[in-house]
Amino acid sequence: MSETLLHVNDIATAYGNIEALKGVNLSAADGEITCLLGPNGAGKTTLMMTIAGILKPRRGSITLRGSEIGGRAPRHIVEQGIALVPENRLVFPDMTVEENLRAGAFSRNDATDVDRDVKAMFARFPVLEERSTQNAGTLSGGEQQMLAISRALMARPKLLLMDEPSLGLAPLIVEDIFRIIRELNEDGTTIFLVEQNAHMALQVAHHFYLIEQGLVVFDGIPGEMEEEEVIKRAYLGAEV
């Protein structure tokens, strides 16, 4: 059985007086792909932003290999080994592809290894090398997603958070993105994935959770629940 890498315990996060997370409990195992599914507005992105330190929880704890990171500043969380691929990619549009990559290594001070990692990202994603001097805002949606993933990997994370990586992409590009997710995991990257495309997510996930109205309502492994029911819950929050 894999060791727990990330543990979220009774996390509540609010926007003003509106509590988006009401006591979330879940874990992500080292070396696995863990997926969080749920309808729009269920709290998926709020949880990712809370783990990444962008939002501060009202209560609860978040630990990475047993060390508390909940409520810490985003820079600290990156330094501890968590990197976020945000929803809608959020590349720096007026910076070049290579500048975006190097921005992902902002917390590192090993310039020679950063140079090697830039070359490694270009080797993994040749299209990014072809566009290395091009401003990121001119890339296609799929290319921007590859850049967002590569930028996060430049931090050398123990845990890669991915928030809706297939959002707004054409079906063939979505297949490419999920192939990349699978390959990254096979290469040793632990991934915590928020995804609206339940069918594709269940093909790569080792473990999944369903969240509704700020609470986790189911957890298990793909196959424990009929995919049709998972998809119904993921999109509609329907009763099982």
CATH of the domain at 161: 3.40.50.300
Residues with Cβ < 8 Å from 215, sequence gap 6 or more? 22, 23, 24
Q: What is the pTM of this model?
A: 0.92
pLDDT score of 232: 79
**Residue whose C-alpha is closest to residue 185's, from 20, 5, 38:** 5
pLDDT score of 93: 96
In the structure encoding, which two tokens stand for residue 20, read together?
A: 């988006």
pLDDT score of 240: 45
CA terminus-to-terminus distance, the chain: 28
Our count of domains for the chain comes to 1
Q: What is the pLDDT along the chain (240 residues), one digit of tens a residue?
A: 689 999 999 999 999 989 999 999 999 999 999 999 998 899 999 999 999 999 999 999 999 999 999 999 999 999 999 999 999 889 999 999 999 999 999 988 888 899 999 999 999 999 999 999 999 999 999 999 999 999 999 999 999 999 999 998 899 999 999 999 999 999 999 999 999 899 999 999 999 999 999 999 999 999 887 878 887 777 776 654
pLDDT score of 237: 67
Tokens 């500043």 correspond to 73
Q: Mapping DSSP to helix (H, G, I), strand (E, B) and coil, where does residue 200 land?
A: helix
Determine contact, residues 75/69, Cβ cutoff 8 Å. Answer: no
pLDDT score of 226: 81
pLDDT score of 1: 60
Give the domain range for residue 176: 4-236
